[in-house]
Chain A
Amino acid sequence: MKTRTLLWFVAPSVALMLVFIALPLASVFWQSFFVTRTLFQEVTVESCQPGFLTQTCTTELRSQPILRDGKPVTERVFVGWENYRLVMRPDALVAAFSPGGGGWADVRQIDFWRALRFTLTFTLVTLPLVIGLGLVIALALNTAIASLRGPIIFVSLLPFIITPVVGALSIRWLFIGDGILTAALRWLTGENVIMFAQGWTIEVLLLTYRVWHVAPFAFIVFYAALQTVNQDTLESAVVDGASRFERLRYVILPHLAPFMVFVALIHLMDAYRVFDEIVGFSAQAHHISLQWLTYSLLMPDGSGSRAIGRASASSMLTMIGIVALLIPLLVRTWRDHHQKG
């Protein structure tokens, strides 16, 4: 294909990426250096509230925004790296590891580091489980009789089809309070099982839920890839006396390797942005993720304002984290590509 033709083909997609990805990203980056403040004035105001059958009026000094044409007057201030500093709290980090500091226990009190700890655990623990479980289902299905394959594929894909928040909510209701499954666990173990009272059980639930939800994706990719394994190679392996395990180890897995990298790439990107589970399981008291941190900064606080600057900083940091995680895989893919080419 001529370069010129190629450029024309990719032009629409490049244009859309510029408008919908690059520009917003640049804007978020820009906003992470600013803070918008409202100008307040001290005024003495009499305000009346209903008491019980009587009214209580109080005159007090209140800070009220200065309104001009019915709108609050605001000022936008360049603050440099201040938003990043407030999110990452390097000072507290240094203090935690200085003599007399509380070490890791202190670090976990800073939302960003607490969120990073959970996000990394979540991403890195679910990754092998998703790939492993997907592989097992795919291999099992590949040896199942043909007439059963359709129904099994359908059932295995179900978790992936369910909207994550809906899935998380329904699982939550199975486990919270006297939920069906908690009651069943109590009956089975004879212990008073309470899933939402401590951090680690919630973390187990969150991780298990994600594996259950995403494994079908890995499974369907691997299953498709299994259909393209070179049958001649497999047969000659059988002739050479290779055991079932050896065939898997030396023929099938090498063939699946690029697909595993693909699944790993997609899963890392998705898992690092974990959010639905935190909301669905109301886990925020115990665990928060980086994406949840950005969300909570963006939500209006009790005075109706949003911490846009800090939210922008936090989302830039999330993006940097994803890129850092993906680099090893991307380098590998790039190398493979060039070796073949």
Chain B
Amino acid sequence: MRQGFNRETMGMFKTLMLATALTVAVASGAQAACAFRNETPIRMLAASFPAWKAATDAMAECGNFQAELDLQFRDKQPAAMAAQPARYHIAGLAVNSLVPLLDQGTVRPLDDLVAKYGKDLLPNQLIRIDGKVMAIAILVNAQHLMYREDIYKQLGLSEPKTYDELLTQLETIKKSGLVQYPLGGTYRAGWDLATEFVNLYFGYGGAFIGAGNVPTVNNTSGQRTLEMMKKLTAYMDPEYLASDAPYVAKQFQQGKIAVSNLWATRAGAMDDPKESTVVGKVVMAAAPAAVPGGKPATTIWWDGFAIAKNIPDAEADTAFRVALEGIDGEMVRANNDLAVWLSKDYKPGRAARGAAESAQGGATPYPATTAMGLMQTALAQNLPGFFTGAQTAEQTLARIEAAYTTAARERGLLR
């Protein structure tokens, strides 16, 4: 990404101006970005969004580094990491994609590597499972409210605190005809739609899994969630079942929608003059609550990385150092607004407000467990039928529980 490179070089020049050994640094050129020269080929698989692009670009500066950025990384990762040797040294993760890797024992404890190289890591970056550091978080992510401030001012609307409030505002926006569709939703059939359900369902106080791993989603919270989602879809692009996060972000950038509950990692792009026609007009805010006075109806995620177990220790050592180079202060300063970075060099800006306020408002951390992984899949496969009108809310929730039960029995979670 050319623009990323420019920002990086800009950031680099600023650093250089401050550096005392100015002449030495200039002589070493672009290579100065990485503290060491990597000779071992290192491969990584991660999700595809701007923050990972920035981090992996910074890792690539060490040389011999190859990153595969793919939104379908969840499907590829478990098998690739279980291979002998692992197909990737570094696994880029979101909170829930760590679970399959832990379950299959394909990532290694990082305590010794952290002790050796991790002096710049913040304590809350260390993901500890049973006392051992199993992954390093690099950013916090959440779906939160983004809205067009200019449209809100023009129509005399104020920041919505609850979804019911948002619904009345959407009606006003729709009547005003200022945008093509008032609301953008990442309702693509599958994983995206399931995550939207999870966010709202927690907002209504629901729980997915009960003691003994039984499903507990067929209840009034589930029904209220589905009802609210259906109401919201009336204000969306009618093709919402095919809209994922990049698509909704683009609609926002092109000024086609006024409000969305979108990932924090897409916030920075709203102010990118090369892509966006709404620079400076989009305000980030906490996700609305589902019930009056409730916590923001969203889940807090983290993204980070883990190191493969099925690789030689020396390669793991190098991979860890390369990965740390990718999230060093230099990269964070150059790409400050692309994400809510977990770094002491991060300055929370305009783009971070939504995630920060959602988290401070008490939004639920995404509950990453094996059972929840099965639940997320059951949701992904059975929710679309509700929105196409093929099934009622009760039928949908019953189907989700049935699909979960089948999968959990096969998996060995339910006996």
- Which A residues fall within an 8 A CB radius of B? 35, 37-40, 43, 45-57, 62-65, 67, 70-72, 74-75, 86, 105, 108-109, 111, 176-177, 194-199, 282, 284-286, 296, 299-305, 307, 309-310
Contact = CB atoms under 8 A, between A and B. Distances in A.
A63 B413 contact: yes
A63 B213 contact: yes
Contacts of B190: 284
Contacts of A71: 104-105
A303 B381 CA distance: 14
A111 to B, nearest CB: 8
Given A46-B131, A196-B238, 5 more contacts: A49-B302, A50-B137, A197-B239, A300-B100, A309-B410
B372 to A, nearest CB: 7
Nearest to A281: B242
B128 A303 contact: no
B242 A52 contact: no
Nearest to B240: A197
B374 A303 contact: yes
20 contacts: A37-B411, A39-B412, A46-B128, A50-B342, A51-B359, A52-B355, A55-B123, A63-B371, A63-B413, A64-B102, A86-B406, A105-B390, A109-B391, A176-B242, A196-B241, A284-B190, A285-B189, A286-B241, A300-B100, A302-B74
A304 B104 contact: yes
B360 A52 contact: yes
Interface residues of B, number: 71
B161 interface: no
B373 A303 contact: yes
B412 A38 contact: yes
B39 interface: no
Determine chain B's interface SS by DSSP, over half rule. Answer: helix
A51 B359 CA distance: 7
Contacts of A48: 124, 126-128
Contacts of A63: 213, 369-371, 413
Nearest to B366: A49
B10 interface: no
Contacts, number: 166
Interface string B126-137: 111111000001
B384 A302 contact: no
Contact of B374 (A37, A197, A302, A310): A302
A97 to B, nearest CB: 17
A123 B395 CA distance: 30
Contact of B377 (A64, A282, A302): A302
B237 interface: yes
A302 B79 contact: no
B396 to A, nearest CB: 9
Nearest to B247: A177
B326 interface: no
